Structure 1
Amino acid sequence: MQFLRSLLFALIFYPGTLLFVLAGIVAGAVGTPPMLKVVYGWAHFHHWLAQDLFGIRTEIVGTVPPGAFLIAVKHQSMFETIEMLLVARIPIIVLKRELADLPLFGRLTRRYGVIPVDREAGAKALREMLADAKAAKATGRPVVIYPEGTRVTPGTTPPLRAGFAGLYRALGLPVVPVALDSGRLFPRGLLKRSGTIHFKIGEVIPAGLRREEIEQRVHAAINALETSAP
């Protein structure tokens, strides 16, 4: 049954995503508000599938305050990359450049608002990210970043990537840390499990801290739900 549900999810979600992408591109030609409605419709579509097919519920402790913040999120699964569109408020997303360069999907993400990062390009990628970040700050929207840089397995707490500190310094925004445990139920691969995914939104961390302090506080906060860390 788990396999069949997982297969059905893939057969519905990915073709459905293509339809939402096409609709978003068309809506974007009309204006930003219609395009945003399509994007949020896609996020609700994913949420509904996870809930009704897998029996996955989300439990959120705390709230993301309104306004411009840097939202630092634990990354264990594809689940939170879409769910954060609902948890936050019209966030600009830091994501790997390969996604932003995809045909159609990449076009829509750039129209929506993303900060593409080439993780293999070193200093050049960091400079480009910071330039995009400053443009993002001017919009007044929050910015979501996954400071570990890639998906990690539950129980692991790798150090934050250098790009987080650079973005924190360039934006000059307070940080909202978000811990989660999505990897237990929604791991990489086909098979998913039922249960509850927890989001814990931590206390706001002020702007202007030293690199060592901000990294330590964010690292601790986004790993608040890890119970088997080494």
Structure 2
Amino acid sequence: MILFRNILFVTVFYPVSAMMVLLSPAIALGGQRAVMRWATTWTRFHGLCTRWLLGIRVVVEGHRPATPALYPAKHQAMFETLELQRLLDAPAMVLKRELIDIPLWGWAARRYGAIVVDRNASARAMRGMMRDAQAALAEGRSILIFPEGTRVTPGETPPLKPGFAGLYRMLNLPVVPVATDSGDVWPRKGLKRPGVVTLRFGAVVPPGLPRAEAEAKVHAAINALECDPSR
């Protein structure tokens, strides 16, 4: 049954997604709001496919503010990159430059309001990231970042990359860490499994803390599900 679910998901989700990605540059001609609505339509479709084809349910724990915030999130699977786009009302998402460099799609992602992060972390790249983030904030949008820098397997807790500290210092926003355990049902390799994915919004980290303290709080919160004895 698990194999059948995976085959069905691949047969339905990926062809439709490919069509939507190919159409995204044309949608982007309609402006940023059009791209945001298009992206949300895609993520809703993803949610329907994961729920009814793969048997994956989502449980949301904790609360988030009604005003814009900086959301650093754990990254274990493609799942949360799409699910959080919908849950956070189309936030500006920090993406690595390699994705933005994809022809046509990258241009559409910039029209959406993606914030480009360069792994070289040069001063010029950091200034560009800050400009993108401030533009998103001026539009009343939250910002989503995966501060560990890459997708990790369950149990891995790498240190935060410098991009988070830069955004935290410059934007003066409340920070809402997001923990997830999506890797338990959506492994990097192998079949996706039915089950429950938890998205836990942690306690708000206020702006203005020393960098080490803010990073420690965020790192602990996004990894909270890694060592939760109740799970």
What is the count of residue pairs matched by the alignment? Answer: 229
* C-alpha distance in structure 2 between counterparts of 1:2 and 1:206, whole Å: 43
* C-alpha distance in structure 2 between counterparts of 1:129 and 1:33, whole Å: 21
1:187 corresponds to which residue?
187
Q: Deviation per CA, 1:1-59: give whole Å up to 9, x if none.
A: 32343233233322211222344433332344333222111001111111111100000
Q: In the TM superposition, what are the counterparts of 1:123-142 in structure 2 within 5 Å? A: 123-142=123-142
Counting aligned pairs with the same residue, the percent is 50
What is the Cα deviation at residue 205 of structure 1? 1.1
Which amino acid letter does the alignment assign opposite residue 95 of structure 1? L
Q: Deviation per CA, 1:96-154: give whole Å up to 9, x if none.
A: 11111212322221111111112145444333222322222222210000110101111
What is the Cα deviation at residue 216 of structure 1? 0.7
1:114 corresponds to which residue?
114
2:153–2:188 Cα contact (<8 Å) kept: no
Moved more, 177-186 or 25-34: 25-34
- SS across alignment from 1:159: coil
1:64–1:87 Cα contact (<8 Å) kept: no
| TM-score, L = length of structure 2 | 0.91
2:165–2:211 Cα contact (<8 Å) kept: yes
Moved more, 200-209 or 101-110: 101-110
1:65/1:23 Cα in 2 relative to 1: closer, same or farther (>3 Å)? farther
2:33–2:112 Cα contact (<8 Å) kept: no
Q: Deviation per CA, 1:72-118: give whole Å up to 9, x if none.
A: 11111110000001111220000111111212322221111111112
Which amino acid letter does the alignment assign opposite residue 118 of structure 1? D
2:50 corresponds to which residue?
50
2:73–2:179 Cα contact (<8 Å) kept: yes
Q: In the TM superposition, what are the counterparts of 1:27-176 in structure 2 within 5 Å? A: 27-120=27-120, 122-176=122-176
2:221 corresponds to which residue?
221
Which amino acid letter does the alignment assign opposite residue 187 of structure 1? P
2:25 corresponds to which residue?
25
Which amino acid letter does the alignment assign opposite residue 91 of structure 1? P
Task: Indicate whether 1:9 and 2:9 are aligned.
Answer: yes
* C-alpha distance in structure 2 between counterparts of 1:8 and 1:103, whole Å: 29
* C-alpha distance in structure 2 between counterparts of 1:158 and 1:121, whole Å: 17
* C-alpha distance in structure 1 between counterparts of 2:150 and 2:84, whole Å: 16
- SS across alignment from 2:29: helix
* C-alpha distance in structure 2 between counterparts of 1:21 and 1:153, whole Å: 27
1:6–1:190 Cα contact (<8 Å) kept: no
What is the Cα deviation at residue 187 of structure 1? 1.7
* C-alpha distance in structure 2 between counterparts of 1:67 and 1:187, whole Å: 33
User: Unaligned 5+ residue runs, structure 1?
Assistant: none
What is the Cα deviation at residue 228 of structure 1? 8.1
1:156–1:228 Cα contact (<8 Å) kept: no
What is the Cα deviation at residue 190 of structure 1? 5.0
Which amino acid letter does the alignment assign opposite residue 175 of structure 1? V
* C-alpha distance in structure 2 between counterparts of 1:174 and 1:228, whole Å: 24
1:178 corresponds to which residue?
178
Q: Deviation per CA, 1:164-203: give whole Å up to 9, x if none.
A: 1111111111101111100100122352011000011112
1:148–1:161 Cα contact (<8 Å) kept: yes
* C-alpha distance in structure 2 between counterparts of 1:213 and 1:109, whole Å: 33
* C-alpha distance in structure 2 between counterparts of 1:151 and 1:36, whole Å: 24
1:200 corresponds to which residue?
200
